[in-house]
Amino acid sequence: MLYKVRDEISKNYDVIIIGSGLAGMTAANILGRNGHAVLLLESHNKLGGFATWFFRDERNHVFDVSLHGFPVGMIKTCRKYWSREIADSIVQLKDVRFVNPQFSVQTDFTKEHYTQVLVETFGLSRDTVDGFFKYLGEMNFYDDARLTNRELFDRFFPGRNDVVRFLMEPITYANGSTLDDPAITYGIVFSNFMSKGVYTFRGGTDVLIAKMKDELLKNNVDIKLQARVEKIVLKDGVTAGVAVGGRVVEAKTVLSNGNIKSTVLGLVGEEHFPAEYVEKTRSIRLNSSSCQVYMGLKEGATIPYIGELVFTSSYPTYEPARLLDLKVSSRTFSVYYPHETRPQSPEARVAIVSSTNCHYDDWKNLSPEAYEAEKLQMIEDTLRGLEAFIPDIRDKLEVIDAATPLTVERYTLHPKGTSFGTKFEGLDVSMNLHKTIPGLFHAGSVGIIMSGWLGAANYGAIQANAIESYLAGRGA
Ligand SMILES: Cc1cc2nc3c(=O)[nH]c(=O)nc-3n(C[C@H](O)[C@H](O)[C@H](O)COP(=O)(O)OP(=O)(O)OC[C@H]3O[C@@H](n4cnc5c(N)ncnc54)[C@H](O)[C@@H]3O)c2cc1C
């Protein structure tokens, strides 16, 4: 059932899930489908977490926030944990482009085409390229995490900043990875994408989340929106439920889909954990945040086809740190051509979303006036960047809006507006949560492999499995 905002919850549950990101929803769906009594509580007024969208101008314009691209594995994940109908709407992006002072490349983002470009355009030997992909393909999650991306690229492509840019920049854009992050996480994420290219959900995020909501309700998951959990309640050191709206709802297990640091240090409270666990949690680094500019075209306005995902920069070389600058010249344009993205709405307008990675503190520390001025400047810089592809874009636009790390923080409750949760060390704390407090689990963006649409959904499935084992052990 879908609770109304004012409804009181009087039932007890097997599982309460805090947060409806893709990890929380996927876990809820699996557990509900398997017959457990599940309550999904979401602080926002809609499901999805970062997998979200918004309308402007009385629904004439719709903008997808994080539907830019994910690996092919999402098809299998959706078929297995959601429905065939959802899986069947996942389609490949055919046209990914890179335009920067070092190179201009159009690709379908597959290993085969990347190999061709690396050999023919970048002049590398076939053996080197094959050796690199073979090395990536053989990496697995349990490998030594000490090798950094910098060392990996130095090993295969010494002195080739242009090659590193081609291989690394999309992943930096996608999840804020730097050359100092473990090569293992890059290797797995990049190989995931390279296996068959980049995919999207045809229909738009609004349609996807509506279908997921229907599926959750069909599987008897109870849902309450605008329900911000204040506390996770323990009894004798064991999970007993949550406090929401000033009342306690009891449950045998709780899965938090909120940020792992906020879950441990805020929702539970450090006094309930061993000092060493608290220390580990405190030292988890957050990932960077994102800025976006949303542009909606006037009714009937069209643009030339410029690709679906365009990685663009006027910066002379690849420097991950520069990609986070307030005055950045590197951005990704996602172009949503209505007949491709939303074939169900022929009246939909063309939408373009520009994304950049950025530092929360650069925005947080601005005065209100400086913040507004900086936002306007970001919009202006974005338009200038887009004019290189569509010279008359300003005449065609009807709506333009921008989001900063403060927007991300407000809507998802992630500390410092982190768009990809935490760095890889968050995973260890997340996976050990239930070993520290029986019945308490976490799923959500921790480390690059468990982040993004696919990573988050899969992590939800892993933790749903762990919850079922725990409930079985309790005889539930
Ligand atoms: C701008 C941007 C672009 C992105 N682009 C892509 C992309 O192209 N491809 C891709 O794969 N990934 C992309 N991502 C990342 C991807 O969207 C996320 O990694 C993924 O959706 C995170 O899912 P999650 O399960 O970790 O939960 P989240 O999406 O973080 O959701 C957590 C939910 O928990 C709720 N919550 C938190 N605390 C509480 C509480 N106390 N009580 C109740 N509810 C609570 C929040 O409101 C939120 O809804 C992007 C992210 C951003 C920000």
3-state secondary structure the chain: CEECCCCCCCCCEEEEEECCCHHHHHHHHHHHHCCCCEEEECCCCCCCCCCCEEEECCCCEEEECCCCCECCHHHHHHHHHCCHHHHHCEEEECCEEEEECCEEEEECCCHHHHHHHHHHCCCCCHHHHHHHHHHHHCCCCCCCCCCEHHHHHHHHCCCCHHHHHHHHHHHHHHHCCCCCCEHHHHHHHHHHHHHHCEEEECCCHHHHHHHHHHHHHHCCCEEECCCCEEEEEEECCEEEEEEECCEEEEEEEEEECCCHHHHHHHHHHHHHCCHHHHHHHHCCCECCEEEEEEEEECCCCCCCCCCCEEEECCCCCCCHHHHHCCCCCCEEEEEECHHHHCCCCCCCCCEEEEEEEECHHHHHCCCHHHHHHHHHHHHHHHHHHHHCCCCCHHHHEEEEEEECHHHHHHHHCCHHHCCCCECCHHHHHHHCHHHHCCCEEECCCECCCCCHHHHHHHHHHHHHHHHHHHHHHCCC
CB 163 within 8 A of CB 157: yes
288 C-alpha to ligand 1 centroid (Å): 13
**100 belongs to a structural domain:** no
Of 131, 166, 192, the position where a domain reaches its end is 192
Work out the angle at residue 422's Cα, subtended by the Cα atoms of residues 419 and 428, and round it to the nearest 5 degrees: 150
- Residue 403 is predicted with a pLDDT of 96
Mutate to test the pocket of ligand 1, among 50, 171, 261, 289 (most ligand atoms within 8 A of CB): 50
Q: Do 45 and 72 sit in the same domain of this protein?
A: no
Structure tokens at 126: 């076939």
User: Would residue 222 count as lying in a domain?
Assistant: yes
Give the pLDDT confidence score for residue 412 in this predicted structure. 80
* CB 176 within 8 Å of CB 287: yes
Assess whether 432 and 407 both reside in one domain.
no
Q: 143 C-alpha to center of ligand 1: Å?
A: 27
Residue 260 lies in a domain: yes
Question: Ligand 1 centre from 314 Cα, in Å?
Answer: 30
Q: Are 239 and 253 in contact (CB under 8 A)?
A: yes
pLDDT of residue 429: 97
CA of 420 to the centre of ligand 1 (A): 8
Compute the distance from residue 54 Cα to the ligand 1 centre, in Å: 15
442 domain-assigned: yes
Task: Provide CB contacts within 8 A for 120, sequence distance 6+.
Answer: none
**Closest-lying ligand 1 atom to the alpha carbon of residue 244:** 42
Give the per-residue pLDDT at 63: 96
Same domain, 326 and 371: yes
Q: Does residue 245 share a domain with residue 182?
A: no
Half-sphere exposure of 150 (CA within 13 A, CB side): 7
Q: Is the pTM of this model over 0.75?
A: yes
Atom number, ligand 1, closest to the C-alpha of residue 419: 53
Q: What is the CATH number of the domain that holds 398?
A: 3.90.660
**Domain check: are 280 and 424 in the same one?**
yes
Nearest alpha carbon, ligand 1 atom 5:
66
Measured from CB, residues less than 6 Å from any atom of ligand 1 are 18-24, 41-44, 49-51, 65-66, 68-70, 228-229, 257-258, 290, 292, 355, 408, 412-414, 419-421, 444-445, 451-453, 456
Task: Indicate whether 311 and 455 sit together in one domain.
Answer: no
- Give me the residue label for tokens 């349609």: 207
How many Å lie between the centroid of ligand 1 and the Cα of residue 86?
A: 19
Q: 379 and 359 in one domain?
A: yes
- Residue 230 CA, closest ligand 1 atom number: 41
Clarify whether residues 305 and 376 are in a common domain.
yes
CA 254 to ligand 1 center in whole angstroms? 18
Domain boundary residue, one of 365, 381, 412: 412
What pLDDT does 355 receive?
93
Domain CATH number, residue 258:
3.50.50.60
Instruction: State whether 302 and 275 are in the same domain.
Output: no
* Strand pairing category for 13-18 and 247-256: parallel
**Ligand 1, pocket-test mutation among 40, 66, 287, 356, most atoms within 8 A of CB:** 66
Q: Which of these, 99, 95, 344, 60, lies nearest to 202 by C-alpha position?
A: 344
Atom number, ligand 1, closest to the C-alpha of residue 26: 25
Residues 405 and 301 in one domain: yes
Q: Does 104 reside within a domain?
A: no
From ligand 1's centre to the CA of 132, what distance in Å? 32
- 38-51 residue pLDDT tens: 999 999 999 999 99
Question: Could you tell me if 295 and 281 lie in one domain?
Answer: no
Q: Which two tokens stand for residue 373?
A: 């001025």
Contact in structure between 386 and 354 (CB atoms under 8 Å): yes
> Residue 207: what residue type?
V
Can you tell me which atom of ligand 1 is nearest the CA of 403? Answer: 1
Q: What is the pLDDT along the chain (476 residues), one digit of tens a residue?
A: 999 999 999 999 999 999 999 999 999 999 999 999 999 999 999 999 999 999 999 889 999 999 999 999 999 999 999 999 999 999 999 899 999 999 999 999 999 999 999 999 999 999 999 999 999 988 876 666 688 999 999 999 999 999 999 999 888 877 777 898 889 888 888 888 888 999 999 999 999 999 999 999 999 999 999 999 999 999 999 999 999 999 999 999 999 999 999 999 999 999 999 999 999 999 999 888 889 999 999 998 999 999 999 999 888 888 777 766 667 678 999 999 988 889 988 888 999 999 988 889 999 999 999 999 999 999 999 999 999 999 999 999 999 999 999 998 888 888 888 888 888 899 999 999 999 999 999 999 898 778 899 999 999 999 999 999 999 988 66
Tens of pLDDT along 202-248? Answer: 999 999 999 999 999 999 999 999 999 999 999 999 999 999 999 99
Instruction: Using the mean position of ligand 1's atoms as its centre, give its distance from the Cα of residue 332 in Å.
Output: 19
Output the CA torsion sign for 91, 94, 95, 98: positive
Residue to mutate, 257, 292, 401, ligand 1, most ligand atoms under 8 Å from C-beta: 257
**Burial of 59 by CB count in 10 Å (0-12 exposed, 13-18 middle, 19+ buried)?**
exposed
Domain that holds residue 325: 53-92+199-203+286-412
Last residue of a domain, one of 142, 166, 192: 192
What is the model's pLDDT at position 236? 96
Distance 156 CA to ligand 1 centre (A): 34
The number of the ligand 1 atom at minimal distance from the alpha carbon of 454 is 11
Residue 104 identity = S
- Domain assignment present for residue 99? The answer is no
Q: Ligand 1 atom 33: the closest Cα is on which residue?
A: 19
One domain for residues 181 and 117: yes
Residue 186 included in any domain: yes
CA 463 to chain centre: 18
Q: What distance in angstroms lies between residue 268's CA and the mean position of ligand 1's atoms?
A: 21
* CA 176–ligand 1 middle distance (angstroms): 15
Specify whether the CB–CB gap between 6 and 246 falls below 8 A.
Answer: no
In the chain, the number of structural domains is 3
Residue 258 CA, closest ligand 1 atom number: 37
Q: Which residue has the CA at smallest separation from atom 50 of ligand 1? A: 66
**Residue 183 forms part of a structural domain:** yes
Q: Are strands 2-3 and 222-224 parallel, antiparallel or unpaired?
A: parallel
